[in-house]
Amino acid sequence: MTSDKLHDDLLKKLLEPLAKEGIDISRIDLSEIVLDRDSALALQREVRIMIMRGQHTTVDLEGQSIPVGPDEISRMLKEILLPFYSKGEKT
């Protein structure tokens, strides 16, 4: 199995709870971020928190629930992973 395939499989497994909630995880893009153990655990933790808080589906904006799409989810997850990743370095 190639490392890209292994990375994709790991990412799908970590994002699976979002898929179960009806989010199209195929459109979530984490760019060139490579997951090591610490970043994978951080991603897994954040996905669980997103589901518990309901952030994967809506954002409350002045009393209105606004759907959150894959682009916003990608951005939120990248922000979580930034401490584990430096540009140009594979972690």
pLDDT digits (tens, 9 = 90+) for 4-53: 776 778 888 888 988 888 788 888 888 777 788 888 888 898 888 878 77
> Does 18 map to a domain?
yes
- Asked if residues 68 and 55 have their Cβ atoms less than 8 Å apart, the reply is yes
> Does 91 map to a domain?
no
C-alpha gyration radius of the chain = 14
- The total number of structural domains that make up the chain: 1
In this prediction, residue 91 carries a pLDDT of: 41
Other CB atoms within 10 A of residue 14 CB:
22
In this prediction, residue 2 carries a pLDDT of: 58
In sign, the C-alpha dihedral spanning 62, 67, 71, 72 is positive
Strand partners, 66: 59
Euclidean distance between CA atoms 44 and 8, whole angstroms: 14
In this prediction, residue 83 carries a pLDDT of: 77
- pTM of the full predicted structure? 0.66
> Does 89 map to a domain?
no
> Does 90 map to a domain?
no
**Residue range of the domain that includes 7:** 3-84
